[in-house]
């Protein structure tokens, strides 16, 4: 049976209201009374009810963080940063996993609202904009990693168009012309923007954008595995693969291991988002770093600003970007055409042959 505030008051021979004031630290009880009540509460094993206290004070000291999964190392880093920052300020973080599922996201948002969280950082699916907008009337909310186009909520994003552009251009500069691209869903901010960066780099280099080399899909390892098999089974497979989301990377690594492909000798591999063992892997995996730690810190800064009743977060800025950067390691190498490819490039095309014949006849 749990110990109640009434039990503590009875043991201390004070009224329930005096015990409540003393244990609540409201400053209305003497320091001596507060110390005596705190000692008795500890001895009895009393724990205050945070929900009841929240109803009374208007603050639960709880902040929700809703992410899609913990397979993605970026979400792990973000959770660690958010938890550490909030703990230092006396808040507890409620970590929730939405599974990139709109219904699960909606149910979780309702639960967090029922628990009267003081703030919320959410990686949105993009399918519950109306619910987020309604919640934001009472709860400070910051969106992270993805934008929900049906809301006007503050959003912290990576510079995904530039990150994908830098990665693709790096592979092109190494001489690769057929570059496989495995990316997230096009209706997600990161998937859509990373694809735009890839296309921009290919077009700037006057290279064709071949749809058979582009594979969008859900943010799960199986997307990477399925796409990698399709790319490697092409009549003319790519010489490099750029895996533009972390979950898919795990599937790609599985397939390359199954097929005993030598990286980078037989296939150059570039991945989006870092995790510690990528650097320890042999060969160390080259990546585009989306700045997960900086993203999380900025999201916390913005949420705290919105939770501040004085500032109220209204500075006119609705979207923030954190720069992505290319980290070159050992999984990419300059493209060296095979003997067959070299002989093809040396053979004149039909059009050049006809032009040559025509010049002779003239």
- pLDDT number for residue 352: 40
CA angle 298, 300, 306 (to 5 degrees): 105
pLDDT tens per residue, the chain (362 residues)? 678 878 888 898 888 878 777 776 555 567 788 888 888 988 888 876 655 555 555 578 999 999 999 989 999 999 999 999 999 999 999 999 999 999 999 999 999 999 999 999 999 999 999 999 999 999 999 999 999 999 999 999 999 999 999 999 999 999 999 999 999 999 999 999 999 999 999 999 999 999 999 999 999 999 999 999 999 999 999 999 999 999 999 999 999 999 999 999 999 999 999 988 999 999 999 999 999 999 999 999 999 999 986 445 455 568 999 999 999 999 999 998 864 454 454 455 444 443 333 333 32
CB 119 within 8 A of CB 64: yes
Residue closest to 182 by CA, chosen among 130, 119, 122, 226: 226
Q: For CA atoms 255, 259, 260, 266, give the dihedral sign.
A: negative
Q: For CA atoms 181, 186, 188, 194, give the dihedral sign.
A: positive
Distance CA 8, CA 55 (A): 21
Q: Any idea which residue has 């994003």 for tokens? A: 157
> Which residues make beta-bridge pairs with 270?
242, 286
Domains of the chain: 5-48 (1.10.260.40), 62-158+294-322 (3.40.50.2300), 160-291+325-335 (3.40.50.2300)
pTM: 0.78
| Chain center to CA of 113 | 23
CB 180 within 8 A of CB 240: yes
- pLDDT number for residue 35: 84
- pLDDT number for residue 359: 36
Report residue 27 as tokens.
Answer: 């400053």
Residue closest to 115 by CA, chosen among 24, 48, 54: 54
| Chain center to CA of 40 | 46
- pLDDT number for residue 356: 38
Backbone angles phi, psi at 138, to 5 degrees: -120, -25
Q: Any idea which residue has 């399918």 for tokens? A: 127
- pLDDT number for residue 327: 97
């Amino acid at each position: 049976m749990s110990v109640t505030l009434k039990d503590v008051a009875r043991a201390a021979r004070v009224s329930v209201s005096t015990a409540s004031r003393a244990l609540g630290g409201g400053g209305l009880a003497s320091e001596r009374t507060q110390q005596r009540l705190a000692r008795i509460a500890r001895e009895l094993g009393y724990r205050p009810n945070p929900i009841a206290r929240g109803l009374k004070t208007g603050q639960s000291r709880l902040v929700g963080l809703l992410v899609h999964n913990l397979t993605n190392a970026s979400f792990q880093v973000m959770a660690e940063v958010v938890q550490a920052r909030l703990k230092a300020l006396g808040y507890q973080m409620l970590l929730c996993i939405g599974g990139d599922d709109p219904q699960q996201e909606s149910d979780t948002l309702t639960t967090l609202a029922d628990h009267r969280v003081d703030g919320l950082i959410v990686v949105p699916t993009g399918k519950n904009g109306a619910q987020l907008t309604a919640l934001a009337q009472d709860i400070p909310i910051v969106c992270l990693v993805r934008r929900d186009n049906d809301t006007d909520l503050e959003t912290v994003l990576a510079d995904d168009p530039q990150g994908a552009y830098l990665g693709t251009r790096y592979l092109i500069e190494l001489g690769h012309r057929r570059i496989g691209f495995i990316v997230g869903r096009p209706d997600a901010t990161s998937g859509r923007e990373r694809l735009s960066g890839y296309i921009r780099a290919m077009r700037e280099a006057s290279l064709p954008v071949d749809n058979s080399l582009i594979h969008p899909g859900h943010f799960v390892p199986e997307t990477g595995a399925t796409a990698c098999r399709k790319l490697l089974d092409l009549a003319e497979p790519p010489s490099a693969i750029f895996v533009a989301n972390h979950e898919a990377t795990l599937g790609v690594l599985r397939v390359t291991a199954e097929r005993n492909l030598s990286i980078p000798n037989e296939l150059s591999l570039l991945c989006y988002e870092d995790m510690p063992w990528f650097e320890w892997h042999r060969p160390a995996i080259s990546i585009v770093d989306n700045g997960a730690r900086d993203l999380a810190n900025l999201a916390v800064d913005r949420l705290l600003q919105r939770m501040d009743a004085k500032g109220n977060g209204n500075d006119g800025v609705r979207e923030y970007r954190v720069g992505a950067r290319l980290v070159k390691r050992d999984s990419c190498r300059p493209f060296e055409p095979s003997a067959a490819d070299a002989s093809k490039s040396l053979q004149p095309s039909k059009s050049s042959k006809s032009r040559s014949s025509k010049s002779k006849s003239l």
